């Protein structure tokens, strides 16, 4: 902004003290105007943290429980201690936005064939060395181009693009909790569904609060051993299992994804134990997606998951009694839904397209068996 101050607002020539006062006034006015202009950039105070001594704080959002001194950011890179208060650095700052088919999340039992507005900010609270989206999940808010999109704009975009739902996805939505929560709350009022696509690494209190506003989730169960989680994700398994139990208890529709990585989490006994745990703790109804790994990030030397391995995992899960088992990231493979009662094809998929849907009011169109999900 350029301000000419030789002539004052009253149109007379100013000298001495009056001129200095006018300069000070205009400088203050400029700062105020710039501050107003920058209002959208004002940081939003985070939820779920504890103030400690000497301006230290502990973030209570996820099991990392980062203890941060003034000016320090958490492991997720997007939450920062500023003078004894915790702030989200990514509220309103979208790093990726797309309209996707809901099947891509993947959610196969949640309004099949519908469109979902998918959004992400930078950041993640894990550091998976096989991450498929590492360029954005491991970025700081400053490292990538972001779009300023307040919650109301996201709702408008969902409506304009005929999206029945909004998904928080691509990176880890838990780390942009405040933004996600506000969008989901607003979406609820507007009759738009919301979907949380997550690694499930979140603490109990924020999770329960989130469950009051979201409609569905896809939760990664990345492996079934603490060793795997420690070596490959920098996190731990136990909190993810707790998340699954809570989401189940809260009655949110959810599906589970297990990415099978050759030589990392592909032991069939471990996959069998995972299925046993799911059945014993969550039941047999929740859809389970085995997903094919492709070399990426720090595991770019590893081979893609052999199809035979995915088949074996799917067969194990089905034999143990899980009713809906799918294979993802492979074209035309285990992508259809069969009625667990009459065995007839009830949702015929081709890639992300729905060719035929024989589910009526959440029941099999042939035998009337109730199918889990929202159709």
- Residues near ligand SF4 (CB under 6 A) are 59, 61-62, 64-66, 74-76, 79, 125, 175
Provide, rounded to whole angstroms, the least separation between the CB of residue 145 and ligand SF4: 22
Give the whole-angstrom CA distance, residue 104 versus residue 52.
42
| Angle between helix 268-282 and 307-320 (nearest 10) | 40
Look up tokens 């919650």; give the residue. 151
User: CB atoms < 10 A from the CB of 208, how many?
Assistant: 14
Residue whose CB is less far from ligand SF4, 57 or 260 = 57
Longest dimension (CA), the chain: 93
- Residues ≥6 apart with Cβ < 8 Å to 147: 93, 94, 95, 97
Provide, rounded to whole angstroms, the least separation between the CB of residue 59 and ligand SF4: 3
Provide, rounded to whole angstroms, the least separation between the CB of residue 246 and ligand SF4: 17
Tokens of 358: 């024989």
Residue whose CB is less far from ligand SF4, 94 or 175 = 175
Provide, rounded to whole angstroms, the least separation between the CB of residue 319 and ligand SF4: 38
Provide, rounded to whole angstroms, the least separation between the CB of residue 363 and ligand SF4: 41
Look up tokens 């990585």; give the residue. 261
Residue whose CB is less far from ligand SF4, 64 or 171 = 64
- Residues ≥6 apart with Cβ < 8 Å to 31: none
Provide, rounded to whole angstroms, the least separation between the CB of residue 220 and ligand SF4: 16
CA 196 to chain centre: 5
Distances (CA, A) of 234 to 63, 124, 126, 128: 11, 11, 6, 7
CB nearest ligand SF4: which residue? 74
Provide, rounded to whole angstroms, the least separation between the CB of residue 296 and ligand SF4: 22
The answer to whether 170 touches 118, Cβ cutoff 8 Å, is: yes
Residue whose CB is less far from ligand SF4, 202 or 322 = 202
- Residues ≥6 apart with Cβ < 8 Å to 106: 218, 255, 257, 289, 291, 326, 328
Provide, rounded to whole angstroms, the least separation between the CB of residue 170 and ligand SF4: 17
Name the nearest CA neighbour of 313 among 331, 290, 279, 342. 290
């Amino acid at each position: 902004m350029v301000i000419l101050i030789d002539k004052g607002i009253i149109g007379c020539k100013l000298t001495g003290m009056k001129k200095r006062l006018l300069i000070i006034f205009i400088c203050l006015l400029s700062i105020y105007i710039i501050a107003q202009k920058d209002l959208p950039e004002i940081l939003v105070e985070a939820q779920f943290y504890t103030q400690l001594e000497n301006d230290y704080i502990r973030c209570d959002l996820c099991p990392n429980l980062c203890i941060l001194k003034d000016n320090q950011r958490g492991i997720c890179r997007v939450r920062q201690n500023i003078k004894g208060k915790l702030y989200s650095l990514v509220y309103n700052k979208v790093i990726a936005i797309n309209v996707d088919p809901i099947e891509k999340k993947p959610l196969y039992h949640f309004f099949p064939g519908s469109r979902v507005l998918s959004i992400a900010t930078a950041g993640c609270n894990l550091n998976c060395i096989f991450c498929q989206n590492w360029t954005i999940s491991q970025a700081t808010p400053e490292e990538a181009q972001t779009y300023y999109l307040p919650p109301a704009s996201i709702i408008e975009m969902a409506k304009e693009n005929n999206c029945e739902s909004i998904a928080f996805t691509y990176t880890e939505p838990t780390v942009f909790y405040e933004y996600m929560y506000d969008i989901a709350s607003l979406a609820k009022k507007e009759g738009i569904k919301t979907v949380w696509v997550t690694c499930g690494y979140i603490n109990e209190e924020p999770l329960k609060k989130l469950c009051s506003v979201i409609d569905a989730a896809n939760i990664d169960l990345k492996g079934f051993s603490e060793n795997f989680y420690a070596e490959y994700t920098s996190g731990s398994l136990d909190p993810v299992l707790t998340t699954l139990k809570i989401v189940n208890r809260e009655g949110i529709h959810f599906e589970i994804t297990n990415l099978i990585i050759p030589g990392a989490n592909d032991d069939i006994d471990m996959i069998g134990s995972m299925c046993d745990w799911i059945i014993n703790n969550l039941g047999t109804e929740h859809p389970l997606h085995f997903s094919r790994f492709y070399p990426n990030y720090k595991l770019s030397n590893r081979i893609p998951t052999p199809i035979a391995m995915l088949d074996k995992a799917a067969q194990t899960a089905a034999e143990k009694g899980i009713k809906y088992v799918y294979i993802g990231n492979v074209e035309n493979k285990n992508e259809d839904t069969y009625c667990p009662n009459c065995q007839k094809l009830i949702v015929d998929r081709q890639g992300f397209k729905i060719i035929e849907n024989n589910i009526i009011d959440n029941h099999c169109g042939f035998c009337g068996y109730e199918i889990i999900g929202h159709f």
